[in-house]
Structure 1
Amino acid sequence: MKRTLQQRLQDGPVVCGEGYLFELERRGYLQAGSFVPEVALENPQALKQTYRDYMNAGSDVVLAFTYNAHREKMRIIGKEDLLEPLNREAIRLAKEVAQEHPTEEALVAGNVSNTNLFDPEDPASKEKVRSMFAEMLTWCKEEGVDFVNGETFYYYEEAQIALEEILKQDLPAVITLGVMGENKMRDGYEVDEACQKLQENGALVVGMNCFRGPATMQPYVNKIRETVDGYVAALPVPYRTTEEHPTFFNLPDGGCSCHLPTETTFPTSLDPLYCNRYEIANWAKEAYDVGVNYFGLCCGASPSMLREVAETVGREAVNSKYSPNMEKHFLFGSDESLKSHNTQFRTKA
């Protein structure tokens, strides 16, 4: 039998591949802006291949792509009738891919996330959010997920509602928070305080995901690790966020010479602002050294970036055989059989 999430965490770091939203938009199967994962119904093979690519890059988890697949988002695009079929199909496809893992079947995680509906001053909105989570989590339970990932919450209270509904289904919970430019939760909690409360209330793993790159997430992860006794998660976006611009929502691109159709580089003009894989590796080592247990990358991540994380924390991915090796490169290689009339010009190429 495959190990549970808790068993894997006890044995060492767990890697979870996220970032499907941007990746499937890059591959041409999802619309930027609305960001609704209709791909589960419209192009299931494309979604399966994306699941597969992240799993083979080192993810221990196939995360069902139901981010934004909640009733409020489906209402906005006029497709509430597809809500349940989309959620169930995303989980079923994840289970099929998880069974393909050659050494140990991957875990399958259900997913609920920020609703953009929650209003701390409106009790009715809180009940709507609870109802939305409850129906999605019922489907998660019926489809047999191993645990549920509740993510990208910028209100502590919304995260707490999600946690309560996950626990009602008797499922383990990973709860990660998205911290915007205020540097705290929007209902006033410090992020480490919010994580401590979530852990005390039953979350197996707590931490942060999305919005922030490694440079502006890790200082808060350090505080969480100091505050929380249990398992801690960190899943930044792979962009060069700064103290002045702590999230990827307002990152400037001073080198851009064209007119951008959007107000900022987010979400379709972020390409020049990527971290390279070695910056990602440096972050993963830092996070590992301070005691992070649950690793990943969020929006913008590619399989090669995730593989860098997995290998940095001591894991060998299915596709580690394709990790870079420049030994036989015609210009930059060191193999003695390479032609010297090529290698001597490596500095002038």
Structure 2
Amino acid sequence: MLVAEGYLFELERRGRLQAGTFVPEVALENPNALKELHREFLDCGTDVIEAFTYYAHREKMRLIGKEGLLEPLNRAALSIAKEVAQEAKGEPPLVAGNLSNSNIYKPGDAQSEKMVRSMFEEMLIWSAEAEVDFVIAETFYHLGEAALALEMIKKYNLPAVVTFGLYAQGILSDGFTVEQACQRLEDMGADVVGMNCFRGPATMLPHIAKIREKVSCPVAALPVPYRTTPSEPTFFHMHDHWASCRLPNNMTFPTALDPFLLNRYETADFAQKALDMGVKYIGLCCGCCPVHIRTMAEQLGRKPPASRYSPNMKKHFLFGDDPGLLFTREDLRGKA
């Protein structure tokens, strides 16, 4: 299964969402922009349209002083995802509801657990009423919070994909390794377990390999498309030593990561490596754009509708070798 994510970063790049707060108000303020991104991902080969409710939970809405928009925003995002899915020609994509890290969970704190459970439940009620095919619960850095999300998803009898974001320390915030956490979730009934966000392919795949060894259910791998390294394993602390200007707070995250973006062929290489590991749920997270998904789809042997626009250099004036060209590469050699 190929899954396009990364709505926060891509819509921010398009000027439709604010970096930092990262609240998906676009579902209400500019629904056509969200529809268009869904359509682009669909044309490029995604098997899933994920309702854009990442960070559309009560805590984020409280922070921006707009709790009254919580339900309208969630229902709008779910409706938009369903609408675009119904436009698909041939077999329609699956539609997923979405839960995300709350940023208020505290291990062993009964009050925070109660608040998080309540936040998840209200979003799941709306997802269930929208008749989503499954729910993606993602970017958890505590096993405890991921377990709460899974508990609530199963309460509504929905299939669950649950993934972790792993910080640079290489261990979850409540002390578990990511493979231990995935084992626990599988035992609790998760349908798919794995990782998303924070890490690029180079620093996520070694952990994915460990997860694949420990669980029998399908494994998910959705890195960010950035060139993370062992010395800078997540995109939170990447340094641009070649920047010619001062960056805000001297940080590349989240608005100056451009020099580290993987090219489309590197993302195709990631898809193949994940497939070779036995990963069955493959995608990209923050930083993903439609052309990444198209190239990954083609690497996996598919030809999505957007493949009609895949590169074809044969007719290029400088690099092509089409017999219809009036001048050949040899004629132009040394002139460009």
TM-score (norm 1): 0.94
CA RMSD of aligned residues (A): 1.2
State the distance in 1 between where 2:257 and 2:51 align. Answer: 25
How many aligned residue pairs are there? Answer: 336
* 1:156 matched to 2:143: yes
Which residue in 2 is equivalent to 1:9? none
Rate the CA distance shift 1:292–1:344 in 2: closer, same or farther, 3 A. farther
1:121-270 matches, cutoff 5 A: 121-270=108-257
Amino acid at match of 1:322: Y
- Offset at residue 342 of structure 1 (A): 5.3
- Offset at residue 339 of structure 1 (A): 3.2
Matched-pair contact (CA < 8 Å) for 1:99–1:105: yes
Residue among 19, 24, 45 paired with 1:58: 45
Matched-pair contact (CA < 8 Å) for 1:113–1:153: yes
State the distance in 1 between where 2:328 and 2:127 align. Answer: 60
- Offset at residue 327 of structure 1 (A): 1.3
Matched-pair contact (CA < 8 Å) for 2:10–2:288: yes
Please identify runs of 4+ aligned residues in structure 1 that moved more than 6 A: none
Residue among 84, 97, 104 paired with 2:84: 97
State the distance in 2 between where 1:346 and 1:173 align. Answer: 57
Amino acid at match of 1:115: S
- Identity over aligned residues, as a percent? 59
Amino acid at match of 1:255: W
- Offset at residue 321 of structure 1 (A): 1.4
1:34-113 matches, cutoff 5 A: 34-113=21-100
Matched-pair contact (CA < 8 Å) for 1:331–1:343: no
Instruction: Name the SS of the counterpart of 1:125 in structure 2.
Output: helix
Q: Which runs of 5+ in 1 are unaligned?
A: 1-13
Which residue in 2 is equivalent to 1:24? 11
Residue among 289, 293, 309 paired with 1:322: 309
State the distance in 1 between where 2:101 and 2:165 align. Answer: 9
- Offset at residue 123 of structure 1 (A): 1.9
State the distance in 2 between where 1:69 and 1:161 align. Answer: 17
Which residue in 2 is equivalent to 1:8? none
State the distance in 1 between where 2:192 and 2:214 align. Answer: 13
Amino acid at match of 2:290: P
Matched-pair contact (CA < 8 Å) for 2:321–2:328: no
State the distance in 1 between where 2:321 and 2:208 align. Answer: 40
State the distance in 2 between where 1:112 and 1:255 align. Answer: 37
1:269-348 matches, cutoff 5 A: 269-340=256-327, 344-345=331-332
- Offset at residue 275 of structure 1 (A): 0.9
Amino acid at match of 1:56: D
Q: Deviations over 1:125-161 (max 9, x none)?
A: 1111011001100110011111000000010110000
State the distance in 1 between where 2:111 and 2:310 align. Answer: 51
Q: Which runs of 5+ in 2 are unaligned?
A: none
- Offset at residue 323 of structure 1 (A): 1.4
Instruction: Name the SS of the counterpart of 1:340 in structure 2.
Output: coil
State the distance in 1 between where 2:296 and 2:177 align. Answer: 27
State the distance in 2 between where 1:168 and 1:295 align. Answer: 26
Rate the CA distance shift 1:77–1:329 in 2: closer, same or farther, 3 A. same
- Offset at residue 175 of structure 1 (A): 0.5
Greater displacement, 236-245 / 253-262: 253-262
TM-score (norm 2): 0.98
- Offset at residue 122 of structure 1 (A): 2.0
State the distance in 2 between where 1:271 and 1:283 align. Answer: 19
